[in-house]
Amino acid sequence: MNKVSVMQEIDFITDTYCIDCPILRDLRQKRGKPGAHKFCIESCTVGEQLQFLGRELIKVSDK
């Protein structure tokens, strides 16, 4: 993987799953942005994939 392909994958995932996420919208109303963000980081499978891609981005940037 190279930096551009990782960034494209991150953009695709956020555009496909995160922008119109009803869970995120509901949690923002109930818990605010920090609570919704915490859910995405700790409990969401899409968030897990984004974290993985973030680590991959760091790896390819360090080369």
pLDDT digits (tens, 9 = 90+) for 3-62: 999 999 999 999 999 999 999 999 999 999 999 999 999 999 999 999 999 999 999 887
**Is the Cβ–Cβ distance between 57 and 3 less than 8 Å?**
yes
**Contacts of range 48-51, beta carbons closer than 8 Å, 24 or more positions apart:** 49/13, 50/10, 50/13, 50/14
The whole-number pLDDT of residue 58 equals 94
The whole-number pLDDT of residue 61 equals 82
Residue 63 clears pLDDT 90, i.e. is over it: no
The whole-number pLDDT of residue 1 equals 78
The whole-number pLDDT of residue 62 equals 77
